[in-house]
Amino acid sequence: MWEGEAFEIRRPERQRLPLVVASPHSGDRYPATMLQGTRLSPRELRRSEDFLVQELAGDAPRLGAPLIHARFPRAYVDVNREPYELDPELFEGPLPGYANARSPRVAAGLGTIARVVASGQEIYGRRLPVGEALARIERCYLPYHRALAMLIEETCARFGFCLLLDCHSMPSLRELPEPASSAHAEMVLGDGHGTTAAGPLLEIAAQSLGANGYRVSFNAPYAGGFVTRHYGRPEQGVHAVQLEIARRLYMDEAALRAHAGLAAVRSAVAGVIAALGRWQPESQTLPRAAE
């Protein structure tokens, strides 16, 4: 069972940007009970991690924006899902009536409690008690989302609006079915096909990444998951953008080890944070940020 803090928040000395940066999938603390119950090796489990993404976004506090990242791994609990997307094939006994057991993510084995890792391998050798799923959600999922919502609310109170940059990493796209337009993308920006953020924001981010030499795709093959869709409410002053970073740019995917490219990617992500942080909605009178 999970013990300790479910997440870490790195705050700036003073928040200067109307921005919150999140890394929901880079947690690497595997509870002993999970390791004892899995069919997989630690290395196989870790292939589902967004390896070191919290470090790629690590300049956010220096630039004036808070950074939140999950400590628990996505193979344990996935906070980029609805809170109760639960797979009936994974659990003993009936699921609660409020569970969503029919979503496409559940069908793929990648619900809130994953049945498989990203490569499709089964995680567990037996079914889990339903109570195990509910305990993980209570101890990890709900605290993470309460903290993220708090950061967004604080930012809106300070600046009158908030941008959420939800950061992820993606395996080599050659392993994925993708449209030709994204076949060579190194960074993918998603706004739910124009529904979760103001129109200029993806272009602002893309221009910053392009200036650093990266090839960028919009909304393909990733348009944004639950976090982007749930928090992105432009009409209410909250704009959410998902950033996917190709792992090959900064790590050896087979060895699960960072390589020399990490510094350049971190610098590029810092550039995106700074560029997005300069944006302001044209039709809104903003309060002066408190000193």
Q: Which residues lie below 8 Å from residue 66, measured CB to CB, with a gap of 6+?
A: 9, 10, 11, 12, 15, 20, 21, 60, 151, 155
Please give the pLDDT value at position 3. Answer: 73
Helix (H, G, I), strand (E, B) or coil at 217: strand
Predicted TM-score (pTM) of the model is 0.93
Residue 45: CA count within 13 A, CB half-sphere: 23
Please give the chain's pLDDT, 291 residues, in tens: 777 899 999 999 999 999 999 999 999 999 999 999 999 999 999 999 999 999 999 999 999 999 999 999 999 999 999 999 999 999 998 999 999 999 999 999 999 999 999 888 999 999 999 999 999 999 999 999 999 999 999 999 999 999 999 999 999 745 444 443 445 799 999 999 999 999 999 999 999 999 999 999 999 999 999 999 999 999 999 999 999 999 999 999 999 999 999 999 999 999 999 999 999 997 554 443 443
Segment 270-282, tens digit of pLDDT: 999 999 999 999 7
Q: Are 246 and 173 in contact (CB under 8 A)?
A: yes
Say which amino acid occupies 109. G
Q: Is 41 exposed, middle or buried (0-12, 13-18, 19+ CB in 10 A)?
A: exposed
Respond yes or no on whether the N-terminal peptide bond of residue 31 is cis (omega within 30° of 0). no
User: Which domains are seen in the chain, by residue range?
Assistant: 7-29+41-71+143-277 (3.40.630.40)
**Can you spell out the DSSP letters for 98-124?**
T-B--SHHHHTT-SSS-SB-TTS-B-B
Segment 83-107, tens digit of pLDDT: 999 999 999 989 999 999 999 999 9
